[in-house]
Structure 1
Amino acid sequence: MTASSPPTRTDPPSRTEQARQIAEPLAAVFRQEAERADRTEQLSATGVRAIKASGYPALTVPVRLGGFGASLHEFAAAQEILGRADASLALVAAMNAHLLGSVGEAGSWPEDVYAQLAHSSVNAGALSNSLASEPDLGSPSRGGLPSSSARRVEGGWRVSGLKTWSTGSEALDFLVVTAAVAEGETGAEVWRFVIPAGSEGVRVQQTWQGSLSLRGSGSHDVKFEDVFVPDDHALPPAAPLSPVRAASSGAWFWTAVAATYLGVGQAALDSFVEYANERVPTALGASIATLPKIQQAAGQMNLDLMSARTLLHHLTRRWAAEPEARPDLLPQLAGAKNLCTNAAVNVTDLALRAAGGAALTSGLPLERYFRDARAGLTHPPADDQALTLLGKQALGL
């Protein structure tokens, strides 16, 4: 009698792998939609439906509210997969994920307001975004008071203003809007107002055409004309948070950006490798992948991405494992954002140079990756801000 072999032991997937598994089917849809959305300069309705049906909006919702409860590292791993498929749709998903992740971690909102957005994302795939940029204000990360304003009325507030760079504007279910409030004798303060997208007086203006990058992101302007917001959806400036909790807002947004554009860079390398192996000039009689200059270009691209990814994953793992170290990790995450977005810029540039004239046509996606990667430089923190934060940390200031 022959003894049977012991059953093969299959370990359950890690939480990081589970987060990736949530992202992978969604990325497949993004990949199919990317070229058409870029060409038509339209946010893909198919892509939006896929996001809402995928479970990804619940990725960073805490477990206590029914979500997956992804850590910063698990979020980074999942978000890179989406960025590798399409930057535009990846950022629509990222805006909701970083908002719910950071607020849930910091506990900086009233629980009932946060729970409404969180439950909507878990149960209905709702998407939210924080709208803060304005034509005159520029990037809110540089400081300044928004031109958007809110005034008290019976039972709540009336909000008016114009917001720009509103990623995924047509797909959003909730808009978290910053506005100036003149309260008492303390001068104007910046409040946040949670506004359902279908509220009377909210109007998306179709301004996102002819952009260099992210043509399929639907980053239109949104106009608010005397929009009523009840008192319980008006969020005054939070009481000072502990340094550990206060670090969360920057960390989640910077990680969202870093991981998304790291994915863009990886997509460019993947596409270049495929092209290099398939391109066989008659004069060479072999694929151009056999040429040393092509191998060196691929090697440099790979090194740039490996370096950026290693730093991002190291820091996001520490963020989850060492909460007390978060204030010190925050400047380093700014550095990771710098490294990842610049890696994407460098890799897409190298891919275009090495592939030659074919890369300038829409026959290869390299020119789209090249354009999309440039947008990573515009997200806060800008390179000078990131380097200043790191420099101050190094100087002990």
Structure 2
Amino acid sequence: MLRTEGPCSALALADSLAQRFAARARQQGDHGFPHENHRDLHEQGYLRLLLPRDHGGTEAGLVEMVQAQERLARGDAATALITAMAAVVMGRLREERPWPEAVFAEVCKAMLRQGGGINSCVTEPELGSISRGGVPRSRATPAPGGWVVEGHKIFVTGAPALGWFLTAVVLPPSSAAPDGEVATAIVGAGSPGLRIVETWNDALSLRGCGNADVFYDKVFVPEHLMVERRPIGTPSGSASGKASAPGLGPWSLTVAAVYLGVGQAALEAACDYANNRVPTALGRPIAEQVHIQQRIGEMQAALLAARALLLETAHAWVEQPELRPSLPARIAAAKYLCTNAACAATESGLRVAGGFSLTSALSLERHFRDARAGLFQPPQDDLALGVIGRDALTQFRRRPA
């Protein structure tokens, strides 16, 4: 039954859910999609945190959601990533309101009533990463009352748990757009012709995130659900028309927080192991060994530094709106530091536990694998460093005398 009582701390709720998710991961491993986790997200009211108050949600702020997402990821990173994707979408929609209000209300009400996440479906086999440009091959053709969508999307995170698939399509040329338009088709789960093919269960990382292929075989989309149309060649972005590169919006910080949570989970698992592992040859916990303390110190230092920038950036976005034009570089830096800190920390965790870390008896091998997925979330390291570098060069460019 869906929780409807007064506001509950997002952090406390995330902690409670993380404990459930971690217990399931220990019992069931990370093969297969964790449908129970997503039922809990709906029934316990976590998804309501993403929705605006004027449409029945509890509308948690950016800082609170960044903190909550890190804690949720300590229990199960795959589930937390799906929620972060929904946060990226809903954060933008509730702040910018680029859709007709009746359409936005329809989507919010459905999420409140029946649960299910929401995600953008843009990556295609030929297109590659959305962060590197390109025009979708998925097409929409006019039909009475709407459009018919055909195409194939890959890496649709959370596909088995989504209520809405925000699908990037190309519309045919018109007098207003001679080269055609790119638009978002709002496709509801269960639409005739919508087919999900599980292709991710044996992946290296985040095996429970449902990063499936999605096929559209003449899926009908009503006219009012074809939104955010723009001529091909014009920049995507906010309602104001300002370009927004993938992974550089403020709500992308919730994705960075997921990987920080993976690193934190590895730190806690490594500490637990070190404090309780007493080899007979040593006669005391390995935590007393200097080299173990140094490994744990490396993990802690990297995570503390990444968390500091992550939260500082979230606070700056909320509390200093005048800084927002300059914050994409800091958002890129936060993502870069969080994912690389997670990779470094999870590797150090393996070294703390030695050979036991390679077995499923410890969660360290799962955290090690899951952290690697962060390297491929936009912006990838090369793009992130480019954004950061260009910003620094601009800031410190000497002006002519």
So what's the TM-score if we normalise by structure 2?
0.90
Q: 1:266 maps to which residue?
A: 264
Q: Which residue of 2 aligns with 1:291?
A: 289
Question: Residue 248 and residue 77 in structure 1: after superposition, are their counterparts in 2 closer, same or farther (change >3 A)?
Answer: farther
Q: Structure 1: which amino acid aligns with 2:200?
A: W
RMSD: 2.2
The residue number in structure 2 matching 1:386 is: 384
Residue 28 of structure 1, CA deviation: 2.1
- Decide whether the 8 Å contact of 2:131 with 2:245 is kept in 1: no
Aligned length: 382
C-alpha deviations, 1:237-295, integer Å up to 9, x for none?
A: 36964488958973245212210010000000000000000011111111000000000
TM-aligned CA distance change 1:272 to 1:240, over 3 Å: closer
Superposed CA deviations along residues 283-337 of structure 1, whole A, max 9, x for unmatched, are 1111000000000110110000000000000110111112232121122111101
What is aligned with 1:192? Answer: 184
2:108 matched residue in structure 1: 118
3-state SS in 2 of match to 1:272: helix
| The one of 149, 154, 160 aligned to 1:164 | 154
SS in 1 for 2:249: helix
Percent identity between the two aligned chains: 42
Task: Note if 1:92 corresponds to 2:90.
Answer: no
2:3 alignment partner in structure 1: none
Distance in structure 1 (CA, Å) of the matches to 2:14 and 2:88: 15
Consecutive unaligned residues in structure 2, runs of 5 or more = 1-5, 231-236, 396-401
In structure 2, the residue corresponding to 1:250 is in which secondary structure?
coil
Letter in 2 for 1:103: L
Q: Which moved more, 1:249-258 or 1:291-300?
A: 249-258
Task: Say if 2:22 is the partner of 1:59.
Answer: no
Cα distance change, pair 246–385 in 1 and its aligned pair in 2 (3 A): closer
Cross-structure match for 1:326: 324
Give the corresponding residue for 1:373: 371
The one of 224, 232, 245 aligned to 1:232: 224
Per the alignment, in what secondary structure is the counterpart of residue 168 of structure 2? Answer: strand
Shift of the 98–36 alpha-carbon distance from structure 1 to 2, 3 Å rule, reads farther
Aligned to 1:28: 19
Match of 1:150 among 120, 140, 143: 140
CA–CA separation in structure 2 for the residues paired with 1:183 and 1:274: 61
Asked if 1:48 corresponds to 2:29, the answer is no
- Name the residue aligned to 2:234: none
Q: Secondary structure in 2 aligned to 1:216?
A: coil
Report the alpha carbon displacement of residue 124 of structure 1 after superposing the two structures with TM.
Answer: 3.3
> What residue number does 2:249 align with?
251
* 1:79, distance to aligned residue in structure 2 (A): 0.4
More helix by share: 1
Indicate how the Cα distance of structure 1 residues 77 and 222 shifts in structure 2: closer, same or farther if over 3 A, else same. same
Residue type at the aligned position of 1:144: G
Q: Could you tell me which residue of structure 2 aligns to residue 396 of structure 1? A: 394
Q: Distance in 2 between matches of 1:71 and 1:124?
A: 23
Task: Tell me if structure 2 keeps the 8 A contact 1:102–1:248.
Answer: no
